[in-house]
Structure formats: structure tokens, C-alpha cells
Structure 1
């Protein structure tokens, strides 16, 4: 177990770490079970339990760990306190899914030992037994940070599909070189070089190690001391290659690093770099001072991608922790604390500002959609229709600006006193989520806020997709070119929604609203 000083250090640097009626009539959706809640109490809050986002049954959860697809199952390990709702006693929780929507909870996979708590890490499939741990067969190898008096890197392996684990007797496999924040190993396979590559977050940079057997690691390079955002400690790196606009001949490498604090919405956030990786060094192709954020909302952190997605699938899939270290330990959900975002497909596209990351919900999520209700027509200034109701919705909309420079979008999860606004401001050309009046829960002084991101649109058309429930919203604009992820914690019973418009007129080319049920 980590001693008290290490835990305090971790906390100081890481706690850081329905439907329509165009005329105004309302048609209701089925609601989640609910009960009243007093902020900061121990009362259960089932109305905040997401429908299609993963949450632990009980207790604390933060970073996704060890994402790997093996034998037809997507494995989701995660930072977990099995015995409490606070960040402590870090272990790897475990769940599996065949469709990224419905998850089966499994027993805790990795628990603290004499080397310390089990901090974040990754997992790979050792298909050809390069490690020698599988007697010529294959299995899963997990690499994680042992957080004791110092942070070191350890491995464990599983021969039975991740159900049971054996820690390597030679742990740690990477000793601490004298760096306080030295954690979150991400292992990838670099086939052109025929080796394994491991990335580590080390204070204000990423260190790269290489190995042929997953056991013996040699430092190869480092990146980041003079690149990107440095408002806080770097954590949870990831690295992968993606085609640009689907063209495999124009592929680029994407390096992803979470940072806390220093995010655009305050607190923690995740940045990315686009460039080249030769198996040894990453080279950023953009200006070192340029900062590119994966998601400009307040609540997307520590995202990790799945290893082992079949080549014929052709997708890079990831998920993030839907919270923020600025207030994560004060989120008043119970008997659990912490949620993942919906899994996302990640791509690259060429834009006027260079090669950019795009994200969209995985297509598997469409299996959770109920029948759609549709609406199309003019939305005048001060419109109050169309209206809809629901507590777990997938909204797909396309607007066209007719005149003026309006602010328009959706009021959702509304009641008599509270509502969340999601929309586009044509004057400033910014997408926004306004949660200043989302609910009565007292989370933290910085929680009630309006967060924005620049959004370039094609002419006068704006396309939005919104996943929402009482827990939070995920907003994807222009096929995922801009994304905002926000906890909202709407009050029990607040389920009304409508289109709004001010400062001009818009035409609603199409609007579909689906109830979500896995």
C-alpha cells in the first residue's frame, strides 16, 4: 500500500488527478427511477445513473485502464476504490462488453500489493508469446503503475480472458529514475519496427521506452517539455496512427496527453498532437506553442483507446472519464461516484487549420435508440417549439441560419427552476453548453458555468448530435469536429426540452429525437 505521504502527493498533483409537438403539446418518455436528493448527502441517486454510459455498481471510479479487445470482448478496466466513494485504495475494476453498450461487471482484477496501489495503465494481447509468460500460447498482458513510496511500472498477465491475473515476480519492470510523477504506462505494438513501445507520463513530458518481450524496457526518447499546454501535470498518454479522411496513404500519428490542471474549461482536460512516429521518436508537425484540445468541455479526461480492435473493423475506439479533478471528489452521486463517457470513434480530417481530430459516438449506440420523432420547419425568434420530453435522449439536428446572427439550440432537462442550454452563437461562432442553472446539486463553486468552443460551419448550416441524460451531456458538432462533454446533474423530474432561438431566425432542416435504452 502507498504510504500517507504518497497519497497526499497524488491528491495534490492528480486531484488535480417525449417527444414532439410542434404546437406545444407534450408527449412523455419513460423516465428513470428517481427519488429526492439533498446535496452532499448519502442518499441514493438513481436518477443520476446514466442509461448508456458505464458506471461502477458502487464506490469510486476514475481513469479508464487496460482497454483491450480479446476473444470478441471489449475489456474496460478502470481506477476503482472497491471499499469507498473517495479516491483511495486504488485498484483495477473490470467490466466486459460485446457491443460497447451493455456491460457485465466482473470482480476486481488487480489489487494493491507490497509495491503500492494500482494506478493507471494499459493492456495488450501478446499473440505470439513474446513475453514467454504463456508457454507458447497467447494472453493478455497488463502494464500499470505501482504507486508506493515512488511510482514504478509493473506487469501482470492473464491466460483466461482477463478473469484471473498473475503479477510478474520480477516487478517492477521499470524503476523510478527520480521523478515524482512517473506513471500511466501505455503500451502499443509498432509492427514496422517489430517491437513494443511504452509511453509514460513524467511530470511535463512523455517518455518513450521500447522492448521486444514486454519485460525488459529501454528508454528511447522523450517529447513535450516545450510543446503544448503546461498548466499542470501530464497524465495518461496514448499514441496511435490514423488515416486522414480515410486515406491510408496520408496517415498521421496522434499523441494524446491529459493535463491537470490547465484545461480550457478549468481543471483537468486532454490535449493532442499530430505528427510522425518512427517507433522511437514522436515529431510534432505543428507549432510547439499550439494547443489542441480533444474536448473543450469540463468533463472529458484520461481517454484511452482499445488495443486489439480487428483491422477489418477499421476504427480507433476510445472512452474517457466523465469528470474533472477540480470537483470529482464532490460529485454527489450515490452509491457510486464516477462515470465514463459513451465510447467514441476517433478520426482525423484535413481542415483550414490543419489536420484535426474528430470524434463521434460509436455506431453500436444506435442499437439503444428507440423510435425517432421527427420535426422540420421554421424556428422564428423567441420560438418555444418544437417541444419534447425525456431523460435519456439521442438528438440529431441540422439548422440553417436564415437571417441575423442568432443564438439557437436546445433547452433540455428543464423544470420550473432549472435547465441546461446547448447551442450555437452565430455572432461569436462558438458552440456552447450552459449549465449555470442545470440543477440544485451543490458540487463546487466552479461547477455552474458556460463552456464554449470555436466552431467553423459550412456556410450557414450547423449540425449537432447530443447524447443526454440526467447525469450529463455529450455534444458533437459538425460530425465531431467540435465536442463538449459536461456533467449537469439535473434535478429529479426535470425532463422538458425545446428548441430556442434569439437574435434572428433559423430553419430546422431536420430534427430526430430518440429515447435511449440499452
Structure 2
């Protein structure tokens, strides 16, 4: 869970949002999801403490009881019998001292049923439910347990419930039960969080998986009673290491349904540094094995090195020449005047990785105090993509790469607070034949006040960095957690359907943020590798219309209008990818949530040349609240053995979730269209798409009761 210390100040000005009462929230406000969970009002982020107990699904979540931005972190609570129809419950764990003198917040964690009463909290035959969470202490204090904490410290505490999760008692006699990170990481007490706990039957011990966020490490602890914990091992860093690691979770899954072949999956939140082409948050997964004390990743799921640019690339700048930036044709300003490309890290800088060749732009010349700009020569945009490697600070205003046309910034990219460079791509097809310059900007003198850039090239293909297995390739799926208490052969996960890049700005009232669809996850062998597969799981029979709009065509060359179909939809779309080569861009898909004039629309499609699924929300409705929001997102997706592409698309009043193939590729995006955006249309560009079938069913509200 992202730590936003300054957000505490927002508690002083809660604004008109507090005035919205339960009676006024009707669950039919503009943008209110109809079959995704949302709180009645106020801010929500990470799912936490997901627990199935006595036929009830408990959804606890990070919640601000006083406003629609992050602050006063508490555990909200909702329950369901079918993962579809939710009942709002009272706050489970309210920030201590709320609202006037907060001494402890309840950050992300998890919950279990202690059926053997190992904790000793149970009595009179009542099974105790135990929650473990990160306590955040805003200032130094002595605790009731006699322990002392520092200002802004994060430590791990527990609470228990003896009435099946409806009320909770904090274990003040001993909290926090894990006070400090172990040596040599004791200086990481500000970034030690998000425990995921579970019972490991073979060793008859409780396991807690914690994140050392800035070091990209998972710490694994064991316990016999949920109260006394011992460090067993650590894991990481591996794969994606931009930003910080948060909200870890590990669980077992059989491969291809064979119980004699069980793997373990570690899901890890990453912020920033999500999937290629996105900004902000993302969730990766690692497949491996867990023996009760340590997690080991499978070798075929680990990635290293930098993928070269596409084969048709024309290199614009690789910074390999000898001399200053001015000698290489760039115009420097500020502290970069007279400077040359770096040969790696500067003194005092952590190792820089991911660049190609021997040299790169690295503005950490004299530390983060260095400022200046580098401006390229003018060039003519002649290919579809501008690709480049970028790392360093995550700040679109102060540590960024800009594309300028007629003096105006038309594209931007930035690092992920990581010294590892990764590919970024700008689709500039709408700017072909325009004259442009590239500007590399460093105007920041604070932490991560520098930028790394290399290998700027032009291509008709998008460059990709394969640095991780992504749970979801869209921008709005984060902090995913799996339910405890389900049988060992099933796992259901839910993610936060938002992004820290703009999460506090999305235009929703009186609530802010939704959860993703619950997803039943499994492992299937795809291309010789155990791959996470996701299938949306709700009580669809209770909310999906039996009446369907069905259309099929042997061939589609341009567009096919489907008329007004509604705002909450289940769509099944299939088509053949076996087409003759086409000139230029060759894409097929469906437009959803469109106005009659198509000035608002969201495009879900497939690019035949790159074999990628995409969602284009650049004109999806209200996109003005954040400059990074209007964009197109891509994910790899291969056809099945019959040469077909199959998509299941779930459209709600403010979201689109796509499940491609068997569910091995998923994409989740928020959208904020107008009420008039109810139309849909099939499109095909640059190619005649064969064997097209579409089926659309309306989804009714889960809040009617």
C-alpha cells in the first residue's frame, strides 16, 4: 500500500463529500460500477483480508472514512455469498484516534480462520478469525505493549474476531508482533509492510510474507501461534524492480489440473513500474516452489538483459559517439553544458542497468542537484513509433522525455524511480510528416531528481521490454490478493481497479475507486511454461441477460454498427487471425461505450502485425483530469491452435476488463464516458477479417436489493 504521508493533511479539509449520506447514495450515480464492488462513499484502495468463512466471502479493504482521497487508513468491510451481491458492513478497524488525533493507521494485510485455535484467542468453541496488518505510526510514541516506535514507522500487528468477522479486537498487549525489519535491513522501517498470512499444512506453521518495499525483497516469517514470528528466508529482487514492491501474496496452484504437479505463485504489486506502455501501478507474478520456509522461482520465469530494438529500427541517437552532448548534435542547458554521455553510473549512484552499448544519458552527474535539458536536432516523423530506453526519476514534469511539435509537448515519458532502463514507445502515427524535436528534461533536485535515456529509434513496430510476467497488462489492476479459506484446488483473486498515478483524481462522486472482477486463477502450460490463467467469476446467471445480440460475418472489411447496446455488458468476440499480409496497420475489434457521433469511444482490438491485444481509451469520455490517462495499452496474445482469437470483454459504467484466449492475457482499464455512450461497433482496418462472431448480453445491477 502506497505511503502518502502528506495525505494526512487532507483530513483537515474533507469538503462536501462528507455530506453525502447513505440515503443519497443510490448506486446509480454517473460512473458508478453496477457489478464491481465500490464503497458507499469515500476513498478505497487495496483489497485486504480476503477471507471465505462459513459460506461468506469477506472483503476488507483500505478505506478513508473521512473523504475521497487517501488518508486515515482503516479497514472497510463488505460481505457476499456469491462474490456478486455485496452487503456493506461497519468499518472493521478504524484508525486509532480518528479523526482528531490519529496515532495508528491500519494498512494492508490479510486474515485467516484459526480453526485449531493456535493463537489461543478462541473460547467457548468459537473459531477466532485473526487479521495481520501493517500498523503505521505517524509519530514516535510508547505503545500499550511497552514497545516504542519511531515517527512514520511501519510494523506488523494482529487483531482477532470472535463473531465471524463482524467486530475486531486489536492485540494491544503485544502489538506490534513484528516490530522491526531484521538486520541488516533495520533502516527500512519506513518501507516494511503488507503481510500476507496463511497456514502451511505440511510444516504445521503459519507463514507471513512481507515486503521490504524499496529493496524489492520479500521476507518470509513462520509462526506456530500467529503471535511469535521468526524470519525464515528472503526472496528477490527479480524481474520488474521499478518503483517499490508492495502487497505480496503467495499461494499454491496445480498445473493443468494435475494434483501431482503443484507450483506456487507469488504475486507482487509494483508502483510505479507497471507493464510496458502503462504508467504507475502494476502487478507481476513469479511461478516457483515453496517448501515451508523459502520460495524459489522457476528459471523459465526469470528475465534479464535488455531486448534489442525492432529489426526495422532507424537509430536516431544511441549516445555512443565520443565527445560532449553538443558534439553529438544535442543542445544542452544548465549543468549539462559541456557534459558527455555516461559510461554507466556516476559516483554515489546505484548501478545503472538496461542500457545498450557503452554510453547513455545519465543526468546524475553531480548527484540529484544536477539540472538541465538536452534538445535534439529537428527531425521529420516518418515511422509509426518512436522507441527509447528510459529510467531514473518518475516525474512527468521534472525528469522526463518530451516530444515537441510546433513548440508544444505532444508525448511524454518518464522513469519508474529505478536505475534500470526499460523500453517506452510513442505511437506517433497521427503525427506522420510533422517536424519535431525530442527534449530530455531534468529540473528536479530532490530524491530521484535525475533521468537515464538511451537508444532513441524510429520504427513501425513497438519496442518491448520483457522484464516480468504480468498478472494484468492494463493500467488499472493493482495490489491483487487471493482469498483464504477456499479449498486447496481453487484460488480467487481481486485487485484494486485504479492506479496511484491518478487514483486520487478520477472524477467519481461520492466514492472513489472500485475493485476488479473476482478472478478464478489457475496454472496452465502455454508455450511450454506454467502460465497464470484468469477467468472472471461472479454469479453471472443472476445478473446476465439470457437474451443476446448475436451477429456473425464470414468477412468484415470496414465497420459494422451494432446500435445502442447499453452501458454494462458481457461480450464474447471471436475471429480468425489467419489473414493475408496487409499494407500498413491491420487491426480488428469492437468499439464500446460510444456516443452516436463516435466522439466518445473505447476501442478493444487486436493488431495482426504485432499479435497484440489493445485497449484505446484516448477519447473514452472524461480524460482531462490527468495527462497520462488518455492512452492505448497493449498485451501479447497468440491465436489458439485453430487460428482463432477469442476475447471476453466485460464493460461496466466506468471500466473495461478483457480476458484473451484462455485467460492468459488480461487487461483492465477505467473509462469515464457520458450516459449517452451506449453504442457499439465492429471495426476492421487494413485487412479483411474472417469468421467474425460477436455475442453481447446486458448485465443488470447487483445493487438492486
Structure 2 match to 1:185: 195
| Aligned 1:126-275 pairs, distance under 5 A | 126-135=114-123, 137-148=126-137, 149=151, 150-169=153-172, 170-177=174-181, 178=186, 179=188, 180-203=190-213, 204-225=216-237, 227-264=238-275, 265-275=278-288
Contact 1:185 1:201 in 2 (8 A): yes
Structure 2 match to 1:380: 556
Instruction: Point out which structure has higher relative CO (alpha carbons under 8 A, 6+ apart).
Output: 1
Q: Distance in 2 between matches of 1:398 and 1:388?
A: 21
Please report how far the alpha carbon of residue 161 of structure 1 lies from its aligned counterpart in structure 2 after TM superposition. 1.3
Q: Distance in 1 between matches of 2:96 and 2:230?
A: 25
Q: Distance in 1 between matches of 2:115 and 2:567?
A: 43
Contact 1:401 1:505 in 2 (8 A): no
Structure 2 match to 1:3: none
Structure 2 residue 278 is the aligned partner of structure 1 residue 280: no
Please report how far the alpha carbon of residue 96 of structure 1 lies from its aligned counterpart in structure 2 after TM superposition. 0.1
Contact 1:49 1:471 in 2 (8 A): yes
Please report how far the alpha carbon of residue 492 of structure 1 lies from its aligned counterpart in structure 2 after TM superposition. 2.2
SS at match of 1:330: coil
2:72 is aligned, of 63, 85, 89, to: 89
2:689 is aligned, of 506, 510, 515, to: 506
Contact 2:35 2:652 in 1 (8 A): no
SS at match of 2:280: coil
Structure 1 match to 2:530: 355
Q: Distance in 1 between matches of 2:43 and 2:298?
A: 38
SS at match of 2:60: strand
Please report how far the alpha carbon of residue 300 of structure 1 lies from its aligned counterpart in structure 2 after TM superposition. 0.2
Alignment CA distance shift 1:441-1:450 (3 Å): closer
Q: Distance in 2 between matches of 1:447 and 1:431?
A: 18
SS at match of 2:560: coil
Alignment CA distance shift 1:252-1:70 (3 Å): same
Contact 1:378 1:505 in 2 (8 A): no
| Aligned 1:403-482 pairs, distance under 5 A | 403-404=579-580, 406-415=586-595, 416=597, 417-458=599-640, 459-482=642-665
Q: CA offsets per residue over residues 311-361 of structure 1, 9 Å max, x none?
A: 5xx421010000000000111100000100110010111121521111110
Please report how far the alpha carbon of residue 377 of structure 1 lies from its aligned counterpart in structure 2 after TM superposition. 1.9
SS at match of 2:195: strand
Structure 1 match to 2:669: 486
Q: What's the TM-score, normalizing by structure 1? A: 0.89
Larger Rg: 2
Contact 1:45 1:335 in 2 (8 A): no
Q: CA offsets per residue over residues 194-248 of structure 1, 9 Å max, x none?
A: 10000001121110000010000001111012x1111111000000000111111
Please report how far the alpha carbon of residue 509 of structure 1 lies from its aligned counterpart in structure 2 after TM superposition. 4.8
Q: What's the TM-score, normalizing by structure 2? A: 0.66
Q: CA offsets per residue over residues 272-292 of structure 1, 9 Å max, x none?
A: 100010010000112353511
Q: Distance in 2 between matches of 1:365 and 1:10?
A: 38
Coordinate RMSD, CA, aligned: 1.7
- Bigger Cα displacement from structure 2, 444-453 vs 132-141: 132-141
Q: Distance in 2 between matches of 1:366 and 1:237?
A: 33
| Aligned 1:281-360 pairs, distance under 5 A | 281-286=294-299, 287=302, 289=304, 290-311=467-488, 314-352=489-527, 354-360=529-535
Contact 2:30 2:508 in 1 (8 A): no
Q: CA offsets per residue over residues 20-78 of structure 1, 9 Å max, x none?
A: xxxxxxxxxxxxxxxxxxxxxxxx98120011100000000000010000111000000
- Bigger Cα displacement from structure 2, 455-464 vs 140-149: 455-464
Contact 2:638 2:645 in 1 (8 A): no
Contact 1:388 1:498 in 2 (8 A): no
Structure 2 match to 1:116: 104
Structure 2 match to 1:29: none
Aligned pairs, how many?
478
SS at match of 1:327: coil
Contact 1:45 1:333 in 2 (8 A): no
SS at match of 1:118: strand
Name structure 2 gaps, 5 residues minimum: 9-26, 98-102, 138-150, 305-466
